[in-house]
């Protein structure tokens, strides 16, 4: 059951990821990315990361992609957007990189399978963390976020503040020394 | 139980799709979408390792990745709008000047 779910989600994720790059019309690309985000959220649910699945749908599908659609429609783009001239080089580099990564993953698994085996990994996890996991996904993430990762959490809020100020300033008219049309 | 390496291969495929997209597309909005693909590939890896290691830290890092992605989208789209006002194009081959 879990294997079937994984292969369904993986197939749709790969297909829509390729479609995002392949579509000529930016609106179709954004819709394909929307489908991909929903299936990544499904994959997170099968991995027992329910909080992140919800956040994935709310933040990515609800906020980020709506922003993309808004800008694509605001700019009213023409559809004659073609690929770069070096498209063959790009795809060739991607295939070489993919072969390299698959080779690395397979050789690591064959070489020292006990280190990658899940039993050894779960045994090495600290008992305190395991006790947190049994309490529930959202509680565990909140606990980690406000104890061990408190300072990165504050830095993340600062990043959001800087991004908000930057976006407001950049999107204003007459910024960057440009003349008013 | 799905082996961990399957998740790593899936993540590699999605990441390289985004990489190829950055290389071959000329529309700057699709370039940003390809960066989103790469960030999501790392998220899949983080969550898979978090599940198999039985450690919540990976999911906390996905949370931070999400923050950075949101900030990147806000600033990137603002830059695109500012560029479009100045040059009336989103083709990266036309955006080759430091100043205009």
Q: Is the pLDDT of residue B82 over 80?
A: yes
* B91 CB-side CA count, 13 A: 13
pTM here is 0.84
Round the average pLDDT of chain B to a whole number and report it: 88
Confidence of residue B62 (pLDDT cuts 50, 70, 90): very high
Cβ count near B13 (within 10 Å): 19
Across the interface, whether the CB atoms of A156 and B32 are under 8 A apart is answered no
Q: What is the pLDDT of residue B38?
A: 94
Contacts 24+ apart (CB under 8 A), A83-89: A83/B24, A83/B25, A83/B26, A84/B23, A84/B24, A84/B25, A84/B26, A84/B93, A86/B23, A86/B24, A87/B24, A89/B23
Domains and CATH numbers, chain B: 4-95 (1.10.287.3510)
Q: Is B6 on the interface with A (CB under 8 A)?
A: yes
Architecture of domain A1-113: Up-down Bundle (1.20)
Q: Measured between alpha carbons, how far is A176 from A110 in angstroms, rounded to an integer?
A: 55
**What ipTM was assigned to the predicted interfaces of this complex?**
0.90
Closest CA to B3 of A6, A49, A123, A48: A6
User: Cβ separation of A141 and B59 shorter than 8 Å?
Assistant: yes
Provide, as residue numbers in chain A, all residues whose Cβ is less than 8 Å from the Cβ of B45. none
Both tokens of A91, joined, read: 């795809």
Domain residue ranges of chain A, discontinuous segments joined by +: 1-113
The pair of three-digit structure tokens given for residue B75, joined into one six-digit string: 């600033």
Instruction: Check if B95 contacts A (Cβ < 8 Å).
Output: no
pLDDT along chain A (181 residues), means of 10: 90 94 89 94 91 91 90 77 76 89 78 47 52 70 89 93 91 63 48
- Chain A closest-CA separation from residue B52 CA (Å): 6
Top pLDDT among A117 and B47 is at: B47
> Which residues in A lie closer than 8 A to residue B27 (C-beta atoms)?
26, 77, 81
Say which residue the tokens 């390792």 belong to: B49
Comparing alpha-carbon positions, the chain A residue that sits nearest to B27 is: A81
Dihedrals phi, psi of B57, to nearest 5 degrees: -60, -35
CB A40 to CB B12 under 8 A?
no
Q: CB–CB of A67 and B66 under 8 A?
A: no
Taking one residue from A and the other from B, the number of pairs with CB-CB distance under 8 angstroms is 237
Q: Does residue A9 contact residue A39 with C-beta atoms inside 8 Å?
A: yes
Chain B contact set for A86 (CB, 8 A)? 23-24
pLDDT at B47: 93
* Contact of B24 with A84, CB cutoff 8 Å: yes
Q: What is the pLDDT of residue A103?
A: 87
Residues of B in contact with A178 (CB under 8 A): 82, 85-86
**Residue A61: count of CB within 10 angstroms of its CB:** 18
Instruction: Choose, out of A61, A69, A156, A168, the residue to mutate when testing the contact with B (most B CBs < 10 Å).
Output: A156
Q: What is the mean pLDDT of residues B25-35?
A: 90
Q: Of A48-52, B12-16, B91-95, which gets the smallest average pLDDT?
A: B91-95
Mutate to test the interface with A, among B74, B79, B80, B88 (most CBs of A within 10 A): B74
The residue among A43 and B26 whose pLDDT is bigger is A43
Q: What is the pLDDT of residue A116?
A: 47
Q: How far apart are CA A101 and CA B39, in angstroms?
A: 17
Q: How many residues does chain A have?
A: 181
In this prediction, residue A126 carries a pLDDT of 53
Q: Average the pLDDT over B71-100 and give the result.
A: 82
């Amino acid at each position: 059951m879990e294997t079937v779910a994984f292969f369904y989600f993986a197939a749709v994720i790969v297909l829509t990821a390729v479609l995002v790059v392949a579509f000529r019309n930016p609106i179709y690309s954004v819709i394909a990315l929307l489908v991909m985000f929903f299936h990544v959220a499904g994959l997170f649910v099968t991995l027992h990361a329910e909080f992140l699945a919800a956040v994935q749908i709310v933040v990515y599908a609800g906020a980020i992609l709506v922003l993309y659609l808004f800008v694509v429609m605001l700019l009213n783009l023409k559809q004659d957007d073609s690929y770069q001239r070096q498209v063959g080089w790009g795809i060739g580099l991607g295939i070489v990189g993919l072969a390299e990564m698959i080779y690395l993953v397979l050789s690591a698994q064959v070489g020292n399978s006990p280190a990658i085996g899940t039993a050894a990994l779960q045994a090495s996890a600290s008992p305190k963390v395991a006790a947190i996991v049994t309490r529930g996904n959202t509680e565990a993430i909140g606990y980690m976020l406000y104890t061990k990762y408190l300072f990165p959490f504050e830095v993340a809020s600062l990043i959001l503040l800087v991004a908000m100020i930057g976006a407001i300033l950049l999107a204003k008219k007459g910024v960057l020394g440009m003349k008013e049309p | 139980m799905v082996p961990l390496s399957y998740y790593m291969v899936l993540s590699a495929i999605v990441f390289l799709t985004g990489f190829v997209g950055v290389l071959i597309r000329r529309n700057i909005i699709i370039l940003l979408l390809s960066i989103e693909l790469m960030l999501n590939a790392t998220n899949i890896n983080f969550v898979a390792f978090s599940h198999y290691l039985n450690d919540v830290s990976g999911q906390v890092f996905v949370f931070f990745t999400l923050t950075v992605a949101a900030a990147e989208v806000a600033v990137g789209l603002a830059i695109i709008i500012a560029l479009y006002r100045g040059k009336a194009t989103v083709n990266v081959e036309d955006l080759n000047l430091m100043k205009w």
